[in-house]
Amino acid sequence: MTKRFPFIMPLLVAITLGLAPFTPELHLLGKLHWIRGGGIGMQFMDYFDLFLHGTPWLWLFFSLIKWSGIFKIKRNLRKN
């Protein structure tokens, strides 16, 4: 099944690690709202935390792009 749908693992990781902790607000969305509000009071740890929670979503995005075949590379291999 992972051969046909290689985005299953990135999807599970993005949902669990990318959104945790879930209460009172999804963690990633809370960080994005904080940055959108100016990011006043954010420290290095907060930006690193945003990176760690955002990475699974980037993995999912690139997996879906690769799976969809939008950027297929066509190679012309000539045999001599």
User: What pLDDT sits at residue 75?
Assistant: 62
User: What pLDDT sits at residue 1?
Assistant: 53
| Helix or strand (DSSP H, E) at 37 | none
Boundaries of every domain in the chain? 8-68
User: What pLDDT sits at residue 78?
Assistant: 63
Q: Do the beta carbons of residue 65 and residue 73 sit within 8 Å?
A: no
pTM, to two decimals: 0.70
User: What pLDDT sits at residue 80?
Assistant: 55
With the CA atoms of 5, 15, 49 and 32 taken in that order, what torsion angle do they form, in degrees rounded to the nearest 10?
Answer: 110
State how far the Cα of 16 lies from the Cα of 18, in Å rounded to an integer: 6
User: What pLDDT sits at residue 76?
Assistant: 60
Report pLDDT digits (tens) over 31-78.
888 888 888 888 888 889 889 888 989 998 888 888 777 777 666 656
